Amino acid sequence: MGAAVMTDSKLPIDLHPEVAAALAARRPVVALESTIITHGMPHPANVATARAVESVVRAEGAVPATIAVIAGRITVGLTAERLDWLGGVGEVMKLSRADLPYAVAMGRHGSTTVAATMICAARAGIAVFATGGIGGVHRGAESSFDISADLDELARTQVTVVAAGAKAILDLPKTLEVLETRGVPVVGFGTDELPAFWSRTSGLRVPLRLDEAADVARLMRTRAALGIDGGMLVANPIPAADEIPAAELARHIGAALDAAARAGIVGKAVTPYLLARIGEATGGRSLTANIALIRNNAAVAARIAVALAATP
Ligand code: PSU
Ligand code: MN
């Protein structure tokens, strides 16, 4: 399972030897989250996708570091055995900033959301992270107050997150407003529009645009040089061949939201519930699109990490 490397004497964090070696040599590393494995996709597509995403990162010349909490230890870079186990184990905690320390303190297993993965990546010294889509402001947040902790984390933790925007089940205009308010740069990668997860377009303009991984790396260095805390969102649209048109999805999203309301789904259960309902409603097409977009994000994240490692 790999020797433990303690990066801090008090922090129970284990870096996979390959990840530790890459970080020590300043070679490119990409963090990957695990909530998408335990709560975002059905078994066994979840495990196959997690493996495929790691391969994509490797093919671009970076080392993948999938992050999860295993028996209270923050594990940065899962072995193949552990990835298999996590994908099939069923009930594990979905960890965000609020509950990551609980899982560590109590020796629990947990998968890390975007927020918790950012925290762990930052502690390990990993600057770039790929996911599918970040959490954001939910529709009806004006009454439910449901706003993902991912947004706050982007505002405070210095990790660059490559995602196909925020998940289309959310209120995307409000999500953009919160990111703007909290000073999080939202960079369209090769696009002027905020991608809408399964679709390339949302009708919303992104405030910033970059077309090259090297320019994203340069922006990261400049932010660090300015002493600006917090991360940034690189919004990378799903490849055109894999997208589901937004108009077609709108119906399914509406139905899933209605079903969630009727079933009284709240809190952490909302996003996994909606993703599962939309998967059923689209006959698995939303899952296929989700797999395509996360692979695409992993490739871009790896290129950014490579560019970052190349410039002193
Ligand atoms: N990207 C995906 N599928 C997912 C997620 C991201 O393609 O399931 C997860 C991430 O872990 C993200 C979480 O942090 O969904 C958002 O959950 P919530 O809305 O409860 O904050
Ligand atoms: Mn929420």
The dihedrals phi and psi of 149, each to the nearest 5 degrees, come to -65, -10
Same domain? 198 vs 232: yes
Residue pLDDT, tens place only, 14-57: 999 999 999 999 999 999 999 999 999 999 999 999 999 999 99
Q: How far is the CA of 33 from the centre of ligand 2 (A)?
A: 17
Candidates 67, 100, 113: which one to mutate for ligand 1, based on the most atoms within 8 Å of Cβ? 113
Same domain? 136 vs 103: no
Same domain? 158 vs 99: no
Domain ends where: 109, 126, 143? 126
State which amino acid sits at residue 51. R
Q: Report the distance separating Cα 35 and Cα 93, nearest Å.
A: 9
Number of domain units in the chain: 2
Q: Mean pLDDT over residues 192-202, rounded?
A: 97
Same domain? 99 vs 150: no
Task: List all residues 6 or more positions away from 215 whose beta carbon is below 8 Å from its beta carbon.
Answer: none
Judge whether 94 counts as a catalytic residue.
no
Residue pLDDT, tens place only, 231-285: 999 999 999 999 999 999 999 999 999 999 999 999 999 999 999 999 999 999 9
Q: How far is the CA of 61 from the centre of ligand 2 (A)?
A: 35
Q: Report the distance separating Cα 83 and Cα 285, nearest Å.
A: 24
Which residues form the domain of 237?
132-312
Judge whether 54 counts as a catalytic residue.
no
Same domain? 72 vs 143: no
- DSSP sequence for 34-57: SHIIIIIS-TTHHHHHHHHHHHHH
Candidates 144, 150, 233: which one to mutate for ligand 1, based on the most atoms within 8 Å of Cβ? 150
Same domain? 308 vs 267: yes
CATH number at residue 170: 3.40.1790.10
Same domain? 68 vs 159: no
Helix ranges restricted to H, the chain: 17-24, 35, 45-59, 80-88, 100-105, 114-124, 141-144, 149-156, 172-181, 213-225, 246-263, 270-281, 285-310
Same domain? 208 vs 109: no
Interior/surface letters 204-229, b for 16+ CB within 10 angstroms, e for the rest:
bebeebbeebbebbebbeebeeeeee
The one catalytic residue among 33, 54, 153, 243: 33
- Mean pLDDT taken over the chain: 96
Same domain? 166 vs 299: yes
Total residues found in the chain within this entry: 312
The residue whose CA is least distant from atom 16 of ligand 1 is 135
Q: Report the distance separating Cα 299 and Cα 302, nearest Å.
A: 5
**Who has greater pLDDT, 312 or 4?**
312
139 to 34, 99, 144, 154, 168: CA distances (angstroms): 25, 24, 9, 20, 10
**Model confidence, pTM:** 0.96
Residue pLDDT, tens place only, 109-118: 999 999 999 9
Same domain? 1 vs 142: no
The one catalytic residue among 54, 167, 243, 268: 167
Q: Report the distance separating Cα 179 and Cα 16, nearest Å.
A: 33
Domain ends where: 126, 146, 179? 126
Q: How far is the CA of 234 from the centre of ligand 2 (A)?
A: 21
Same domain? 213 vs 69: no
pLDDT tier, 2 (very low <50, low <70, confident <90, very high otherwise): very low
Q: Report the distance separating Cα 203 and Cα 21, nearest Å.
A: 43
**Ligand closest to CA 154:** 1
Q: Report the distance separating Cα 178 and Cα 138, nearest Å.
A: 12
Domain ends where: 80, 99, 126? 126
Candidates 271, 274, 278: which one to mutate for ligand 1, based on the most atoms within 8 Å of Cβ? 271
Written as six digits, the tokens of 120 are 């762990």
Q: Which pLDDT does position 5 carry in this prediction?
A: 55
The dihedrals phi and psi of 185, each to the nearest 5 degrees, come to -65, 130
Q: Which pLDDT does position 9 carry in this prediction?
A: 60
What is the rounded (10 degree) CA torsion for 51, 52, 53, 54? Answer: 50
Q: What is the 3-state composition of the chain as percent helix, strand, coil, each rounded to the nearest 5?
A: 50, 15, 35
Q: Report the distance separating Cα 310 and Cα 312, nearest Å.
A: 6
Q: Report the distance separating Cα 289 and Cα 196, nearest Å.
A: 12
Same domain? 97 vs 154: no
Nearest to 104 by CA among 73, 67, 66: 73
Q: Which pLDDT does position 1 carry in this prediction?
A: 41
